[in-house]
Structure 1
Amino acid sequence: MPASQRDSARTGRRLAPDQAESALVGHYGRWVRLAYLTLPADLGRHRRVLAAHGLVQRALPRVRSPKPASRVPGQSRGTPAVAPTGDGAPDDGSTVLRERVVRVLLAYDTAPSRWPFGRRAARGPRTALPVVWGLRLFPRPGGPEAAALDQALARVPTAARAAFVLRHLEGLDDGAVRAMLVAAGAAEPEAALRVSYGLDRTLGASEDLGELLRGAEEFDACSLRARPTDLRRRRRRFRLALAAAACATAGAVAVGTAVVGRSEPPAPREARVPGPEQLVHASNDTWADTAKVDFSAWPARGSRTSDRDLLGRALDTWADPPSDTRVTTSAGARTEPVAAGVRLLYAGEVDGRAVVLLHAPERLVRYTEPTSSDGRPTLDFTEADGADVTTAAAVAVSREDGRARYLTAPWVAEAQTRDLLRPDSPGEPLDRTSDGVTSPVPLPPTAAGTGGGGCDTWPVLQLRSSVRIVEKHSFLLTDLGGVSPAHLTYTPLPDGEVPSRQPREATGPAALGAWARTACGLAELDARDVRAVNVWDFAEQDLPEDGGRAVWACTRATTWRGPGEIQVRLRTPAESPTEPARLVAGDRDTAACGRFGQHLVAGTVWEGESGRRYALAAGSRDVTRVALSGAAEASEDGRTLQERLPAGDPRPRLSADLRDEEARPVVCASWTAGCDGADGPG
């Protein structure tokens, strides 16, 4: 943004010290909540709490002595003390101070690490920010909705988080949010607004989000719980400090070893963390001689598997992440160190960063650090319990400039890339190093990465397993932002009395055709914890007025923890084979559309060429009767129903009978936009 535009947005905005202090005190709790929600989640809750308080307090203008200046008699002494409101009356100064809060939040995220004014200023006790010794402070735990919101916010840029919170917490309209971001120095305020609306679609009904932001204790950085820090480590460090002071008094010279990419020497390794020499190394052929083909069968690969200094830093960081380390954790992943059974999968250099990949019971741990002085270390945890030949086939080791490199499993004999939005185009060969690291692969579009923009391509990996473990087995993986790509599968339409079909690899013509019209919907998923995504074609139906044949499909994204997110879609005839299918409804944290949720009925409103509107409904293979009640009355034996709707906005009740009278289907309808696991939405 041009500097002149930013300056013009701030013209006339000046607060007297007493007005600024009064506004800050009056709105302090709400603005600390705003700051806590806007700050990056990778700070950790303790540092995030302290940074939120510190940055809000920093927004208070400094008091400067006025400079004498000559002026013409009658000349104005300057700009008004407070900014006028929209109706011309001055406000209480809260608008100006809120703008300053947003400005320091955006500056925090974009400033380089220049002590004492850069990002480190909010990370440690080196400036006049709040400092707490011997205690860890945390907001009170919230419910699953608050946790899901916090995770969704963590995946979008700071300006988008600010726009989202300003809209829902502060109640500002789009124009006010845009003006606030412009005045605060946001580079792309329009893109931030678009991404914030993408969060609305991801999280659900917008009228509930404001209440969640205001009411969830998870986001209240003024109501805190206190816990002690690691007492053993504190005692050890105190003894080390005394020993160092004694050595200095005696005239000893301490010699330190400079560690590239680390701003501080590592803390003493905890006894519960293995040393580099204790890491488990699988043999090169373990994967071909075991029935458990998963991460435990990976051999240690990479050019730095013998670099004890690098491995030691990775293990030390796992035990006690330094303040400059960016830590991310997928939902449910355990982060506590373990003393034994940690396997080394990879240690090498990729795109200017050293990468260490470890496998511990039920999880993957990825550590990276810059090979130069720029940048900071990262530590990522993700679930890996129950991984198999497909979900343990690749791990992302680098993401940079819209491209990613992957470390492929030792059983991957061939790697290709293909575009889901070009189902008729064959895969293209993908080069790999001798260690299994791929060439850069374009990342798919996501809600955060495109600012809510278009979806013109969806690159995926197509891998083939070695014939030493399975014959002619190819499968697709897609990058949804997690450490491991998600496995894509397809379940075709039921075939008469044949037993229920199981998900199969999405490499055939029918599967690729279904995914071509579904892929762009992946950008709307809460996807970092996703293990696999399946498209299940559960019914087909003739459309009224000779509208052609339509297919009902349920897309299920299953997480490593077990629960999943579903999207029910209707694929109507289209001119383009990649036209996105109509989204009917969706649900979260559900077993529907999976192995333990095979009973489904869905309904939507469809408009014919005549302009008449119809209710369409269809159920899965065990549905014997579909019915509408309420504003529209109809029922049909079988698995499908269509009924012309009366004028107005009828919201009928949808229900279905099953062969097994004790079972009840999940009911999804477009007029409720959601799914219900009992008798259907009312």
Structure 2
Amino acid sequence: MQSQDVAPRPTSSASAPVVDVEQVEAALVEHYPRLVRLAYLVLPPGLGRNRRVLTAHALTQRALPRGRAAASVIPAQSTGRDGDPGYAFVRLQVLRTALEAGLPLRRKAWPKRSQLPPLLPQVWGLRLFPRSGGAEELALDQRLSALSAPARAAYVLRGLERLPDSDVHHVLRTAGVDDPDAALQEADGVPAQYALLDSPEFDPCSLQARPTDLMRRRQHLKAALAAAAALAVCGALLALPGDGWGPDGAAAPPYAQNPAAQAALDPSRLVKVSPAAWRSATRTDFSVWPARGDLTTDSALLRRALAVWARPGETVRVSATRGTPSGGPAGPPQLLFAGNVDNARVVVFYDGLRIARYAEPKDGTAGAALDFSRADGATRIEASAVLLNRTDGNVRYLTAPWVKKTAERDLLKPGSGAMNLALTDGITAPLASPVAQTGACASWNVLQITDDSGTRLMADLGELVPARLTTGRPGKTHDAAGAEALRTWAPYGCSLADLRGHGVRSVNAWQYAAQPLPDASGTAAWVCTRAETWRGGGERVLAQFHTPGGKYGAVAAKAENVAACGPRDPHVLAGVLWKSEAGPWYLLAAGSRDTASISTTGGVERTAQGNVLAAKTKQGVKAELKGTLTDGRSINGLG
């Protein structure tokens, strides 16, 4: 019997390849994660992350035909899928149904299958959503959310599938888009940050799980009839238009009543510090910041922010730096800010442990975001600034009441001076953020802060609290503000990109050795950069090597959760393969000044007295380093 074709069949030429179900199934299984990611990115953001995940899997699994079918003439462009008509067919099916899922329901027409919640897969008792990414992924997702479904599809086909515009036009037309040119033009309005599409933020196959309302489920088990009625009412409420759950905005439905929890969500009980309290306080940190902003008396906004903090709905973007709990406040938190910033309403709280930032668009609560960063034990210096908003590659900070002056400085250009940033009620003018830059690292802007105690630099690492930059030997560090400190940091500023999103509290750069290079090539500098975190663990250490005249330092070794190059163990040893201008290759190694000797084993056997070693070798050789300190203790090479 002749197998049945899939209907509706995609428009194609008479010469389009014909694929059978086995060929399509092989392509679907092999490229399943990519196809699900494509569906997730194209689906309307209004579905919520949990439903988008399940719908993306359902649409991809339903893309398998029942028999032979004509494939699209546009193959995939990435290696491994070139010319595969099976993949081209299933990609087209996934794209078509994902676009259909975003179409509005019509009163006099039956809904399409893709417009209904998926019957399978289903996960009971859990909400599933991809892992949170960084600030760049959040910004891209917000921009994609503002696009139409065809424009999102055009952007994803360009970035994820690497299709040229002519092929994107054809695929969109074949998938049923009426005006592909308009979709391509609309997609041009989003920066081409295509590498971010491969982030875990957009991976519906790598998921986090959170429980649904546990108290409600327990009550449902006790009364099945009452549960059915409650589900019916909730379903009717979810189907209503609007921005969410009434006065709580984007928050999830309330849990069982708890007096302490309800008190924490009462805007009238928020802690508001006197504007002059910091002047007489014995400790100056976030706890003495006054409440600022033009919306500090907006009870409706504050209630929404507190409600979302306690129970964020499925559409709320929640992010937290490593080691930062994201649960609700234990009691009424302190209000640091509530006001309009650029195109958003922003509220910032402090509960003694965390900074919590809530942001929503000025025209509603759709697309609300909730971010957390640890800030416990912050000193006066570390409590100098908090991020208010990111937009168009720029950031604004709210500074402490004791900050007198702010400026913007390029860390890679120590001699270029600082550009003043205007302060308005503690809010800085926009500062170009290095977090948003893509491609080669040509600059690294930092925030320069001046108060009565001096001047210091704070680096934006994609978190709410910027990281303090210091220089000096471990245990004797000082702020990186003077000319010598700026010269120390200049070749290593771009290495800060390796620390984004790790909950970094401060980063110290310390030149621990200077090494004369063979063949009269000058003197190289060995610098150790160590990042301390708010959680007291997960420290990151980089040993970097900088040759004379080189613009950037090269990472020679790295390690995490080690005491090396820190106040507990101010010693470090690292090595690198280096080729001189004369042609030969050398193994170079250096330790801190109290290193008595260095030995290498493996591809190079050599021992040198003192804290530096240079051994002639060949390209690609591997060796192990071991050092002996002046007190007789042995240390291993970093990394």
TM-score normalized with structure 2 length: 0.74
1:390: Cα distance to partner? 2.3
Contact 2:73 2:85 in 1 (8 A): no
Contact 2:509 2:528 in 1 (8 A): yes
Q: Structure 2 CA distance, aligned partners of 1:80 and 1:404?
A: 44
In structure 2, the partner of 1:358 is: 349
Where do residues 510-529 of structure 1 align in structure 2 (5 Å cutoff)? 510-527=484-501, 529=503
Q: Structure 2 CA distance, aligned partners of 1:596 and 1:37?
A: 47
Q: Structure 2 CA distance, aligned partners of 1:88 and 1:312?
A: 51
The alignment partner of 2:307 has SS state of helix
Give the letter for the 1:569 counterpart. Answer: Q
Task: Sort the Cα spacing of 1:89 and 1:294 in 2 relative to 1 into closer, same or farther, 3 A.
Answer: closer
1:541: Cα distance to partner? 1.1
Where do residues 591-630 of structure 1 align in structure 2 (5 Å cutoff)? 591-630=563-602
Contact 1:37 1:150 in 2 (8 A): no
Q: Structure 2 CA distance, aligned partners of 1:589 and 1:321?
A: 33
1:339: Cα distance to partner? 3.5
Q: Structure 1 CA distance, aligned partners of 2:72 and 2:404?
A: 71
* CA offsets 1:622-662 (integer angstroms, 9 cap, x no match): 321111223222212211111222x4532222111123445
Q: Gaps spanning 5+ residues in structure 1: where?
A: 1-6, 67-77, 140-145, 162-173, 201-212, 247-253, 493-499, 669-674, 676-682
Task: Sort the Cα spacing of 1:620 and 1:349 in 2 relative to 1 into closer, same or farther, 3 A.
Answer: same
In structure 2, the partner of 1:495 is: none
Contact 1:550 1:570 in 2 (8 A): yes
The alignment partner of 1:595 has SS state of coil
Contact 2:12 2:73 in 1 (8 A): no
Where do residues 234-633 of structure 1 align in structure 2 (5 Å cutoff)? 267-268=253-254, 271=258, 272-273=261-262, 274=264, 275-373=266-364, 376-434=367-425, 436-444=426-434, 446=435, 449-451=436-438, 453-465=439-451, 467=452, 471=453, 473-491=454-472, 502-527=476-501, 529-561=503-535, 562-574=537-549, 579-633=551-605
1:305: Cα distance to partner? 1.3
Q: Structure 2 CA distance, aligned partners of 1:637 and 1:22?
A: 65
Give the letter for the 1:574 counterpart. Answer: G
Contact 1:329 1:380 in 2 (8 A): yes
Contact 1:43 1:327 in 2 (8 A): no
Q: Structure 1 CA distance, aligned partners of 2:476 and 2:12?
A: 59
1:397: Cα distance to partner? 0.9
Task: Sort the Cα spacing of 1:395 and 1:153 in 2 relative to 1 into closer, same or farther, 3 A.
Answer: closer
In structure 2, the partner of 1:136 is: 126
Q: Structure 1 CA distance, aligned partners of 2:251 and 2:127?
A: 25
Contact 1:20 1:61 in 2 (8 A): no
1:508: Cα distance to partner? 1.0
In structure 2, the partner of 1:142 is: none
* CA offsets 1:535-583 (integer angstroms, 9 cap, x no match): 11111111112211211001223332231223221121107xxx11122
Where do residues 101-180 of structure 1 align in structure 2 (5 Å cutoff)? 101=94, 127-128=117-118, 130=120, 135-136=125-126, 178-179=162-163
Contact 1:23 1:97 in 2 (8 A): no
Task: Sort the Cα spacing of 1:605 and 1:597 in 2 relative to 1 into closer, same or farther, 3 A.
Answer: same
May I ask how many residue pairs the two structures share in their alignment?
A: 573
Give the letter for the 1:504 counterpart. Answer: H
Q: Structure 2 CA distance, aligned partners of 1:401 and 1:455?
A: 18
1:366: Cα distance to partner? 0.5
Contact 2:349 2:356 in 1 (8 A): yes
Q: 1:230 aligns with which of 196, 214, 219?
A: 214
- Pair 1:97 & 2:90 matched: yes
Task: Sort the Cα spacing of 1:439 and 1:176 in 2 relative to 1 into closer, same or farther, 3 A.
Answer: closer
In structure 2, the partner of 1:3 is: none
1:619: Cα distance to partner? 0.4
In structure 2, the partner of 1:71 is: none
Contact 1:397 1:407 in 2 (8 A): yes
1:429: Cα distance to partner? 2.0
Q: Structure 1 CA distance, aligned partners of 2:621 and 2:422?
A: 56
Task: Sort the Cα spacing of 1:11 and 1:462 in 2 relative to 1 into closer, same or farther, 3 A.
Answer: farther
Task: Sort the Cα spacing of 1:479 and 1:23 in 2 relative to 1 into closer, same or farther, 3 A.
Answer: same
Contact 1:488 1:534 in 2 (8 A): yes
Task: Sort the Cα spacing of 1:392 and 1:132 in 2 relative to 1 into closer, same or farther, 3 A.
Answer: farther
Give the letter for the 1:656 counterpart. Answer: G
Task: Sort the Cα spacing of 1:588 and 1:116 in 2 relative to 1 into closer, same or farther, 3 A.
Answer: farther
Q: Structure 1 CA distance, aligned partners of 2:273 and 2:159?
A: 59
Task: Sort the Cα spacing of 1:613 and 1:311 in 2 relative to 1 into closer, same or farther, 3 A.
Answer: same
Q: Gaps spanning 5+ residues in structure 2: where?
A: 1-9, 145-157, 173-183, 234-239
In structure 1, the partner of 2:637 is: 667
1:358: Cα distance to partner? 0.7
- Pair 1:56 & 2:60 matched: yes
1:57: Cα distance to partner? 3.7
Task: Sort the Cα spacing of 1:36 and 1:135 in 2 relative to 1 into closer, same or farther, 3 A.
Answer: farther
Give the letter for the 1:362 counterpart. Answer: L
Contact 1:23 1:92 in 2 (8 A): no
Give the letter for the 2:58 counterpart. Answer: G
1:311: Cα distance to partner? 0.6
Give the letter for the 2:384 counterpart. Answer: A
Q: Structure 1 CA distance, aligned partners of 2:530 and 2:389?
A: 27
The alignment partner of 2:424 has SS state of coil
The alignment partner of 1:580 has SS state of coil
Contact 1:490 1:506 in 2 (8 A): yes
Task: Sort the Cα spacing of 1:260 and 1:454 in 2 relative to 1 into closer, same or farther, 3 A.
Answer: farther
Give the letter for the 1:546 counterpart. Answer: A
- Pair 1:650 & 2:621 matched: yes
Task: Sort the Cα spacing of 1:569 and 1:332 in 2 relative to 1 into closer, same or farther, 3 A.
Answer: same
The alignment partner of 1:547 has SS state of coil
* CA offsets 1:481-523 (integer angstroms, 9 cap, x no match): 111211111126xxxxxxx652211111111112221112222
* CA offsets 1:23-53 (integer angstroms, 9 cap, x no match): 5875596568756997999999855642442
* CA offsets 1:84-104 (integer angstroms, 9 cap, x no match): 999999858245325655788
Task: Sort the Cα spacing of 1:542 and 1:83 in 2 relative to 1 into closer, same or farther, 3 A.
Answer: closer
Q: Structure 1 CA distance, aligned partners of 2:308 and 2:599?
A: 59
Task: Sort the Cα spacing of 1:405 and 1:16 in 2 relative to 1 into closer, same or farther, 3 A.
Answer: same
Task: Sort the Cα spacing of 1:605 and 1:629 in 2 relative to 1 into closer, same or farther, 3 A.
Answer: same
Identity over the aligned pairs, expressed in percent?
Answer: 32
TM-score normalized with structure 1 length: 0.70
1:418: Cα distance to partner? 1.6
Provide the alpha-carbon RMSD of the alignment. 5.1
1:178: Cα distance to partner? 2.9
1:350: Cα distance to partner? 0.6
1:268: Cα distance to partner? 3.9
Contact 1:49 1:138 in 2 (8 A): yes
